[in-house]
Structure 1
Amino acid sequence: MTEAPRIPEWPRPYWQPGADEDALLQFYVFGKFERELVIPAMRYGSPGLPGGVDLRRFQNLELRKWEGYPLAGTLGGIMRDEAPATYEQARIAPEVLVVRGQLKDGPSLDYLRDTLGVLAALLDIGGRVILDPQIMGLSDAAAWRERYLVPGGAPPRNHVLILRSDEADGSGRSWVHTRGMRKFGRPDLSFRRIPAHELDRAGVLCEKLVEMQVLGTRFAAGQALEVEGMEQALVAQPGGSLDDPEFNNLHVEFRWPF
């Protein structure tokens, strides 16, 4: 008798229980699929979608009538400008599979491993484009596989979008923030008033804190964060709301101390 292959676990070694936060997963898979879906997820180390995450099937023409259709509005315009060929593939695809669900925060990322395995399998049976609206990411099959089908799991940075923009006060300083941490039941990160000569340091720090939160860390209000090479600590200021359009999530803000 052949034993089933053991699926590697995706633990969160820094996990801390805390606020009643849920992880949110939401993906759209555009393509053309057989009438009966047979999803070879075990090919990618997944036993199938975790409890709390569902797959629903739509005709693309019907889904376009939905007010929140992701290829329309501001989000659609951004993706059309950034990836016109991929956007067109999604636009003309006959069908859309919507993978969505909320899960209680916990000490394992197996839920994400299992969901990504299903998404990879859907690309094998007719999927052409995957949209992750939480990071405003639209990827064709080849680009998605390159980004996420990494032995041992893609690094946390691959699951999150890091953005930089000028502060609105004309100071010449920058704002760096993330989108996508809600997949992990964690707030996004916001770094305010970064001087130009500190942007590289801020980028490295942001990636490090993304990884820490993905692996379970929480930042409490008023918590001081010592950063090598900086005389003053950064101080965590949790806030925001799930309706904030800059994040679509709660966030933790750190203001540059000089």
Structure 2
Amino acid sequence: MTEAQQTPEWLRPYWQPGADEDALLQFYVFGKFERELVIPAMRYGSPGLPEGVSLQRFQNLELRKWEGYPLAGTLGEILRDEVPETFEQARIAPDVLVIRGQLPDGASLDYLRDTLGVLAALLDIGGRAILDPQILSLFDVEAWRERYLVKDGAPPRNHVLILRSDEADGGRSHVHTRGMRKFGRPDLSFRQVPPQELDRVGALCEKLVEMQALGVRFVAGQALEVEGMEQVLIAQPGGRFDDPEFNNRHVAFRWPF
């Protein structure tokens, strides 16, 4: 996404018809906006929000009464600790614009390109912070532009979060992603990763994120060959959309012992 009048299509060269999952977009834009919104999205090559994605406007004070208010609860605590200044900007902002939509899986990511163009434009007309709850991240204006206003579009890696946590039995790690639902794809989960393999798994995550964003799908039992490893990893799709660890379904791969 760049400041330009025309942007190329964001095609998915590995996409095949017959997919059964939708892409989900959800963003909160905190700021102070004019009563009548005039969004200069074409400045960023976007004709506006795609069909299926809507924009709703709320007063921040009213939205705080909502049980799912994103600056409250566990997510609010995470954001307050990670970006306290941006969190405060969002907390005191008078307006919140909620952009949300569910779209059928398709051969193009133009829906994401066009939505990002609208978000960029909203930062030009009063937006002060953008929350992406799918990757548990709150961005101020500068941070958002640096991450997403990239020539020919930010790489898929910029749209997801890669996380590591300790396995219950200790000594090994669980590495997984969040955010692939933007592409209508399950997130990735690598279980029982030994310490010496963390860098390899991180690079593998980035590669598979890009492949899935461009249309690849994993089926149950599919073998995944990893460079430098004799054993293959076996895909195990599963999970559910309301799993708090992923906010999505996921494909699990167990690291060999």
Q: Place the TM-score, normalised by the shorter chain, in its bin.
A: over 0.9
* AA at the equivalent of 1:156: P
Task: Determine helix, strand or coil for the equivalent of 1:102.
Answer: strand
* AA at the equivalent of 2:15: W
Offset of residue 6 of structure 1 = 4.0
Q: Specify every segment of 5 or more residues in structure 1 that has no aligned partner in the other structure, as ranges.
A: none
Residue number in structure 2 paired with 1:90:
90
Task: Determine helix, strand or coil for the equivalent of 1:25.
Answer: strand
Residue number in structure 2 paired with 1:162:
162
Output the CA distance in 1 between the equivalents of 2:136 and 2:147: 15
Residue number in structure 2 paired with 1:67:
67
Offset of residue 18 of structure 1 = 3.7
Say if 2:7 and 2:152, in contact at 8 Å, map to a contact too: no
RMSD: 1.0
Residue number in structure 1 paired with 2:184:
185
Output the CA distance in 2 between the equivalents of 1:143 and 1:5: 23
Output the CA distance in 2 between the equivalents of 1:54 and 1:32: 19
For the pair 1:45 / 2:45, whether they are aligned, the reply is yes
Offset of residue 19 of structure 1 = 3.7
TM-score, normalised to structure 1, is 0.97
Offset of residue 7 of structure 1 = 3.2
Q: Within 5 Å, give how 1:17-56 maps onto structure 2.
A: 17-56=17-56
Output the CA distance in 2 between the equivalents of 1:11 and 1:19: 16
Equivalenced residue count is: 254
Offset of residue 257 of structure 1 = 1.4
Task: Determine helix, strand or coil for the equivalent of 1:20.
Answer: coil
Percent identity over the alignment is: 84
Output the CA distance in 2 between the equivalents of 1:78 and 1:200: 25
* AA at the equivalent of 1:207: E
Task: Give CA deviations for 1:151-196 in whole Å, capped at 9, x if unaligned.
Answer: 00001110000001111112x0111000000000000000000111
Residue number in structure 1 paired with 2:198:
199
Task: Determine helix, strand or coil for the equivalent of 2:81.
Answer: helix
Output the CA distance in 2 between the equivalents of 1:127 and 1:6: 23
Output the CA distance in 1 between the equivalents of 2:92 and 2:159: 26
Output the CA distance in 1 between the equivalents of 2:18 and 2:236: 16
Residue number in structure 1 paired with 2:152:
152
Residue number in structure 2 paired with 1:134:
134
